[in-house]
Chain A
Amino acid sequence: MFEAKLDRGIVLKKILDAINQLVNEASWECTSSGMSLQAMDTSHVSLVAVNLNGDGFSKFRCDRNMVLGMNLVNLSKILKCAGNDDKVTIKAADGDDKIKLIFEAPNEYEVSQYEIKLMNLDAEYLGIPETSYNVTVKMPAAKFQRICRDLNQIGDAVTISCTKSGVDFSATGDLGNGSVSLSQNSSFDKPEDNVTISMQEPLSQTFALKYLNQFTKATPLCSQVTLSLSPDVPLVVEYKIIEENEEDSKNEIGHIRYYLAPKIDD
């Protein structure tokens, strides 16, 4: 028996919005410690990994490990039927070929139930080694989204260059070129606007903007995004999954990490 309840169903909607264009089908691995998902995009250039901690749920029960393979586009459609303030429960019985989604409205007298068919998917899990990265940039998620969108007007790829003075995002295309430079800054009043750069050695790497723009669909989950880079390894773009409660308290319940293979010169 698996049962997981989130008090703010909108979090699950945001997670699905963040991944369902990159991957259409994937398996959730459910264990006593939480739910996780790992999947490559169809062209095998990027990888998305979602982790939800069991203790981030208001109720979490997983009697034995389960793999719930499903069509994420369909899951997204069903989650659209939940109100943003609904409590959402996911239930799966051992050996069943479907899961149940239960939406409880805040008024406490309206309950909706949906079932979604499970699928047997060929799992291709990649092992991601512990890596210490040369460069880590923590910046406002909305700023990163804006930079990726703007530079995609200029070209298909962005070169991220880190030096002592800051981080440069630049693109070149038929019409010309463009760049955005950020230097470290911190504000006590608005920590969500901070740019934090930690660098061991200068570095420059190029990535396809098509994928980065897909990753930024996770922007509504968290005010800050973390980029981790090292030479000759994929870029990691991480968003914390933050649940905002009624009292405006913020609770970190997991994360989404996107991994993107670099473009390399001949």
Chain B
Amino acid sequence: SANQTKIEHYYGLR
């Protein structure tokens, strides 16, 4: 089954 990714993986801390 598919793995859930995290949102921080796509957007860096500002």
Contact = CB atoms under 8 A, between A and B. Distances in A.
Q: Judge: A and B partners, yes or no.
A: yes
A128 B14 CA distance: 9
B2 to A, nearest CB: 4
Contacts of B10: 233-234, 261
A128 B12 CA distance: 8
A124 B12 CA distance: 10
Interface in A229-266: 233-234, 259-266
**Majority secondary structure of chain A interface residues (helix, strand, loop or mixed):** loop
Interface string A135-160: 00000000000000000000001000
A124 B13 contact: yes
Given A124-B13, A126-B14, A127-B13, A47 B5 contact: no
Nearest to A157: B2
Interface residues of B, number: 13
Contacts of A128: 11
A263 B3 contact: yes
Contacts of A260: 7
Interface residues of A, number: 24
A1 interface: no
The residue among B3, B4, B6, B10 with the most chain A CB atoms within 10 A of its own CB is B4
B5 A263 contact: yes
A102 interface: no
B3 A125 contact: no
Given A261-B4, A266-B3, A125 B9 contact: no
B7 A40 contact: yes
A47 B2 contact: no
B5 A264 contact: yes
A263 B2 CA distance: 5
